[in-house]
Structure 1
Amino acid sequence: MRSYLIIGMCVIFLIQYFLKLQWLEYTVVTLSLLAFLGSTLKADKFPRWLGIIMMTAGLLIEWNKDTGIEGISEGIFLILPLLSLITLSPLLSIPLRLGGYFNSISVLLRNLLLHPKKLYAGISGTLFLLTPILNLGSVRIINEFLEELKLPSALSAKGYIVGFATAVMWSPYFASVSLVLLYLNIPYKDYIIYGIGFSLLSLVIGNVLFAIWEKRHPLTKEAGVKVPLEKQHQKQLVKLVFFVILLIGSCLVIEHITNWSMIVIVCLVSIIIPLIFGIVSKRWYELIPRLVDFRDRTVSMLNNEIMLFMSAGMLAFAMKGTAAANGVSDFLTTLAHQSVLLFAIAVMVIVLCITYIGIHQIAAVGALAMQLNAVELGISNISLALLLLLTWSISTALSPFSGLNLMVSRIAGVSGVQTGLRYNGLHLFIIAVIGIGVISVIG
């Protein structure tokens, strides 16, 4: 029943986006609140209480601003695009699984087992390709291929974090990019070259640092059987690359033609692609069980995400215009007029401190995106977006409470602090320095 509620919420949101009917907005906001309440009992302990605290704080702050039900409704509705995104985007994994792409990836990674540097490149590169579409599901999939091999903790922690964190800066299928570009009113086509460029740079730096680290700390190379990478698998991997390019390209073309919100485009594409796969391949007998599994299992497992995303979004919206938010905004604006470098460092430190204690990035970065004005700061919208997304990416890797860090630390068998600081601290520091330098230059 709860799955139908969440899916219905997403569908009604998409309908309301085009029809612009007030009663539909109230309907979808009501459904989202019911979904939040339904997730309260099913969520893990920490996300549950954190979500309740952030939602309660957001509602109280907004109510005290004398905006009433209208203000609360607006705050909830503003986060609905992201809830729809995280709910519907997993549909894209269905054609990937049925197309046999994951099997080819498994063969490729197993071929690299005797070569740690190549295996690291394979893991981080595969995640760079899959994560923009599958989010945390990409980490789960790669781990399924390699779990029985008992990889060293350092290799897992470094490879998974670096490969995943790159997508946070450029993928339109990620809440980070969609949220920041939405709040700053930046078309995705204007940002993509900066996002992908910096993500590739991060990937390259990560591989160089691992090669240096591995030279000083040689990993044990266990004997194994190398399975030849057949032409069939090679073709599948090439098709996978083209599939990702086609998805991103389609979103860009649709955005250019229609000027629709990128989040809405991504949601629609996520629904349409599996249907096109079913029509072209005529494999409905395999597709339908996957869709049923999506409804009954995938959607029902979104409890933590719904709790955190909705509550953090409400809190970020409620903070806009408050004395505290205005004070931070005035401080940062004054700092930006003195030095863009100091401004960038201050933003990064503020967000990292907030997220490191467990507050979700949506609350911290979302509040800044809604509060800061690039013109008043004296910088471009693109620079502000790149700074916020760079900070989001670093905090995702560093915070021991982020979904990525929690999952990777569990896989690697080390603490969240070790995963973020010990194994990836140098990489994140270098990326931060380069990023702040680039932002200071482009202004």
Structure 2
Amino acid sequence: MRSYLILGMCTLFLIQYFANQTWLQYVVVSLSLLAFIGSAGKADRFPRILGLVMMGAGIIIEWNKGTGFAGISEGIFWILPLLSLITLAPLLAIPLRLGGYFESVSRLLHNLLHHPQKLYAGITGTLFIVSPILNLGSVRIINEFLEDLKLPSAMSAKSYIVGFSTALMWSPYFASVSLVLHYLNVPFKEYVFYGIGISLLSLVIGNLSFAIWEKRNPIKRDPSSLTKISKAQRRKLLELVLFVVLLMTACLMIESVTKWSMIVIVCLLSIFVPLLITAVTNDWQRAKPLWLDFRDRAVPMMNNEITLFMSAGMLAFALKGTSVMNGVSQLLKVLADQSFFLFAFAILVIVFCLTYIGIHQIAVVGALAMQLNAAELGISNISLAFILLLTWYISTALSPFSGLNLMVSRFSRLSGVQVGLRINGLHILTVVFIAIAIISFL
């Protein structure tokens, strides 16, 4: 039942985007609240408590602002694009599974086991390619491939964080990029090259730092694991890269022609690309179990995400225009007048401290995205978006409460603090320092 509520919520949101009917918006919000209640009841203990606290705080703050039910409804509707995105994007795994791409990736990684630096490059490079469309599912899949190899915990923690976090800065299929660009009204095509540039820089820095680390902490090599990759598997790897490139190109082209929201474009592609590929290949028999698995297993498993995202979105919306946020905005404006570096550093510290104690990035970054005005700060919208995405990048990689950190901690058998600050802290801070220097210069 919860699956139908959540999928119905996403479908009606997309219809409402084009129909723009007030009554339909209230129907979508009602479904969303039912989906939130159902998901919160099934969520893990910490996300459930945090979600209920943030939702309660958001509703109380919005009510005290005098907006009543209309304001609360608007706050719920504000986060629906993001909820639809995280719900529907996993559908893109269907054509990848049907095409046998994951098997080719697994063979490639096993073939690199005899050379740790090449294996690390293979893991981070693969995550760089597949994470933009598979989100956290990419880390789970890669870990399944490598589970039998018994890699050192530190190597797993480094490669998963470095490889996955690159997508946080540029992929339109990620909540970070979609939310920030959507609410700052920055077209994806104007930002994407900045995002990809810093992501590639992060990838290069990560591999160089691992090479230095591996010399100090030699990893046992196993030449006996070397197996030849067939031409068919090499072709599959090339097709995988081409698939991602075509998908991103389609996003850019549709945005340029239609001027639709990038979140809506991504949601529509997530639905129609798997359907189109299945129809073209006429492989309905193999595809049907994957669609049913998405409906019956993948969607119901999103309890934590829906609980946290919806409550954090409500809180972020409610904070807009409050005396606290006005004070923060004024402080940041003063710092921006003094120095762009001070302004950027202040935002990084504020977001990092709040997310490190468990407040979700959507609540903090979302509130800042709605509150701050780039023109008043004397900077461009792209610069502001870049800084906010850097803060999301830091908090996701380093906070022991982020979904990425929790997953990598479980796979590597290390604590969240070890995975974040101790193992990846220097890498993340290096990338952020260089990124701020570049954007200051530009």
Distance 1:222 1:284 in 2: 41
**CA apart distance, 1:223:** 5.3
**CA apart distance, 1:224:** 3.3
Distance 2:440 2:158 in 1: 28
Report 1:402-441 matches (<5 A).
Answer: 402-441=402-441
Distance 2:215 2:334 in 1: 46
Q: CA-to-partner distance for each residue in 1:238-287, whole Å, 9 max, x for gaps? A: 00000000000001000000000000000000000111111111000111
> Counterpart amino acid of 1:349?
V
Distance 2:440 2:294 in 1: 44
> Counterpart amino acid of 1:299?
V
Q: Which runs of 5+ in 1 are unaligned?
A: none
Distance 1:225 1:79 in 2: 47
> Counterpart amino acid of 2:65?
K
Q: Conserved in 1, the CA contact under 8 Å of 2:114 and 2:225?
A: no
Q: CA-to-partner distance for each residue in 1:340-366, whole Å, 9 max, x for gaps? A: 110000000000000000111001110
| Equivalent pairs, count | 442
Residue aligning to 1:179: 179
Residue aligning to 2:158: 158
Distance 2:92 2:333 in 1: 41
Residue aligning to 2:243: 243
Distance 1:274 1:119 in 2: 30
The answer as to 2:191 corresponding to 1:202 is no
The answer as to 2:354 corresponding to 1:354 is yes
Distance 2:285 2:256 in 1: 36
TM-score, normalised by the number of residues in structure 1 = 0.99
Report 1:182-261 matches (<5 A).
Answer: 182-222=182-222, 224-261=224-261
Residue aligning to 1:70: 70
Residue aligning to 1:123: 123
SS at match of 1:61: helix
Distance 1:78 1:245 in 2: 30
SS at match of 1:54: helix
Residue aligning to 1:145: 145
Q: Could you say what the CA RMSD is over the residues aligned between the two structures, in angstroms?
A: 0.7
Percent identity over the alignment?
Answer: 69
Distance 2:356 2:220 in 1: 33
Residue aligning to 1:263: 263
**CA apart distance, 1:439:** 2.2
Distance 1:18 1:60 in 2: 31
Distance 2:193 2:206 in 1: 20
Q: CA-to-partner distance for each residue in 1:31-69, whole Å, 9 max, x for gaps? A: 000000001111001100000000000000000000011
Q: CA-to-partner distance for each residue in 1:309-363, whole Å, 9 max, x for gaps? A: 0000000000000000000000001110011110000000000000000111001
> Counterpart amino acid of 1:287?
A
Which consecutive aligned stretches of 4+ in structure 1 deviate over 4 angstroms post-superposition?
none
Distance 2:238 2:341 in 1: 41
Distance 1:42 1:312 in 2: 18
Distance 2:108 2:437 in 1: 37
> Counterpart amino acid of 2:324?
A
SS at match of 2:299: helix
Distance 1:224 1:348 in 2: 46
